[in-house]
Structure 1
Amino acid sequence: MNLLLLVVALGLTGASPLHDYKVCQPHSRPWQVYLHGGGVSCSGALIDSLWIVTSFDCAPTSFSTIASLGEHDVTVDEGTEQHIYVADVIRHSPYFRSPMHSLTMVRLAKPARFTQYIQPIPLPSRCPQPGQTCHVSGWGSTIPNQYDRAKLLKCISVPVVDDHTCINTFPEFLFWSLGMVCAGQANTDNCMHDRGSVMVCDGQLQGVQWFSHGCRNQADPSVYTKLCKYNNWISDVMDRYTPTLTTGTTTVKMTS
């Protein structure tokens, strides 16, 4: 009875508890990055003062796309943000209709300043295991077949699913890659409409969204890039593309 009265009262005041329960605790994901501008609106993860990891499908444009860090509500200035242009965009290849890889590295035009609202997420020291609970975040709808962008960062929890179970849900035109990991199943929050949404397991970056199958059918796992397979590639890109500064006779890599 008390619950019914609460629902009625909220309805009368215009509140809608059914739509906001998947909103993240504000600034609880200090590594989350909002990439926008230049025809782009998607998420990524800050892994270093200069570097962001996102999916292949998120296609930032150098010096047109802005990386907004320290965001929660992307429609207002919260006083926690840093807005930095994207400088370099390095996309993993090959990527065809049925891609073998889905990963993009984004270098910022200047280093981010770390604060309580802006922090990098560690790369994986191990691969995620079936049954493990992970957390996905992004600025997208969590409702199947609704594609409106969200103004507040959303969070869902998903279980990692074994490869065989995931492969059995693939449509005929899609082929399995060893660079994939799947998470989500029936009776779980298994939909995030945000290209490059970030999957974190035990405090480590384990995935960026590849295919949001859970938004098509919540019984199907969504597919993420299995980042534990790409540590060497990520490190190589950072080594090759991080600018160097020369001061007198000393040359050093740019850092924060």
Structure 2
Amino acid sequence: MELLLLLLAWGLTGAFPLEDTKLCPLHSQPWQVSLHSQGTTCSGVLINKWWLVTSFACAPRSTSVIASLGEQDVTVDEGTEQHIPVADVIYHDPYRSPLHSLVMVRLVEPARLNQYVQPIGLPGRCPQPGDSCSVSGWGSTVPQQYESPKLLKCLTVTVVEDQTCMSTFPDYIFWSIGMVCAGGANETNCLHDNGAVLVCDGQLQGVQWFSHGCENEEHPSVYTKLCMYNDWMRRVMDNYIPTTTKAWSTTSL
């Protein structure tokens, strides 16, 4: 009895971790991609069997980067994964700036589509304030706390008004029409994962740009507003020619 009471006390004081209710249902995000190299991991999203989209902060910087599809737990082999090297990285120009944070990634070979690996199409509309969305990625959901990537996490967040988001920006960040914000007061809004994927009503709407919710839980996080880039993304895919330089860019939306 004394041992049982001691174990209970330890649990209540945090000595034992509580069950994580933010885990995604198993393989519920078949478009989620883990981009990893030399111990670093971030997220992208599969939009067809050849192409991924991610944020500037997650852009592969070398040919050693591997895109892992069909992942849930990135620390074990679950038998559902496909590990495909990156072929080309195409930045929206200007690169990381107050204006844009968007990168397209071409795979060396096409993904094999199945129940664990499925693309999500480009958005058919733009997100609206009040939309309920999901954010998925690997990493900590606790502000100011680092956690090595392991299990895929899912959060429910609400799209907020642009002005609400702008009012939380520090002086060194400027608003762009290529931004959309979600989360904030009364919502768990922190996911430490560059390129975490924002999906609203079954439509791809963003990749994480700034995780402000991990610095202040009252602040919304910022995502690239992908509906503004539909034409650019389609043009990149339609005009793609393999290169030897691993990267090229274009300036227009």
TM-score normalised by length of structure 1: 0.87
Q: Which residue of 2 aligns with 1:49?
A: 49
- CA drift at 1:148: 2.1
Q: Which residue of 2 aligns with 1:16?
A: 17
Amino acid at match of 2:18: P
Q: Which residue of 1 aligns with 2:80?
A: 80
Measured in 2, the distance between the counterparts of 1:234 and 1:47 equals: 10
CA contact (8 A) 2:41 2:149 kept: no
Deviations 1:168-205, CA, capped at 9 Å, x for gaps: 00111111000000000111010010000000001111
Asked if residue 193 in structure 1 is aligned to residue 206 in structure 2, the reply is no
Q: Which residue of 2 aligns with 1:173?
A: 172
Deviations 1:108-161, CA, capped at 9 Å, x for gaps: 000000010000011100000001110000001100001222300001010000
Q: Which residue of 1 aligns with 2:159?
A: 160
Amino acid at match of 1:66: I
| Cα 1:109–1:172 shift into 2, 3 Å | same
Asked if residue 34 in structure 1 is aligned to residue 34 in structure 2, the reply is yes
- CA drift at 1:38: 5.3
- Compare 130-139 and 57-66 and name the one that shifted more: 57-66
Measured in 2, the distance between the counterparts of 1:242 and 1:201 equals: 32
* Structure 1 gap ranges (5+): 244-256
- CA drift at 1:240: 1.9
Measured in 2, the distance between the counterparts of 1:103 and 1:8 equals: 47
Measured in 2, the distance between the counterparts of 1:218 and 1:189 equals: 7
CA contact (8 A) 2:181 2:220 kept: yes
Q: Which residue of 1 aligns with 2:223?
A: 224
| Cα 1:38–1:91 shift into 2, 3 Å | farther
Amino acid at match of 2:64: S
- CA drift at 1:242: 5.7
Q: Which residue of 2 aligns with 1:147?
A: 146
**Number of paired residues?**
235
CA contact (8 A) 1:38 1:61 kept: no
- CA drift at 1:73: 0.4
Amino acid at match of 1:16: P
Amino acid at match of 1:72: Q
Measured in 2, the distance between the counterparts of 1:183 and 1:85 equals: 32
CA contact (8 A) 1:40 1:65 kept: no
| Cα 1:87–1:38 shift into 2, 3 Å | farther
Measured in 1, the distance between the counterparts of 2:167 and 2:62 equals: 38
The 3-state SS of whatever aligns with 1:181 is strand
Measured in 1, the distance between the counterparts of 2:59 and 2:171 equals: 26
| Cα 1:40–1:83 shift into 2, 3 Å | same
Amino acid at match of 1:79: G
Measured in 1, the distance between the counterparts of 2:39 and 2:88 equals: 16
The 3-state SS of whatever aligns with 1:68 is strand
Measured in 2, the distance between the counterparts of 1:152 and 1:242 equals: 36
| RMSD of equivalent CA atoms | 2.0
CA contact (8 A) 2:50 2:110 kept: yes
Identity across the alignment (%): 67
Asked if residue 92 in structure 1 is aligned to residue 113 in structure 2, the reply is no
Q: Which residue of 1 aligns with 2:65?
A: 65
Measured in 2, the distance between the counterparts of 1:127 and 1:119 equals: 22
Asked if residue 127 in structure 1 is aligned to residue 126 in structure 2, the reply is yes
Measured in 2, the distance between the counterparts of 1:235 and 1:39 equals: 32
Amino acid at match of 1:35: L
Amino acid at match of 1:34: S
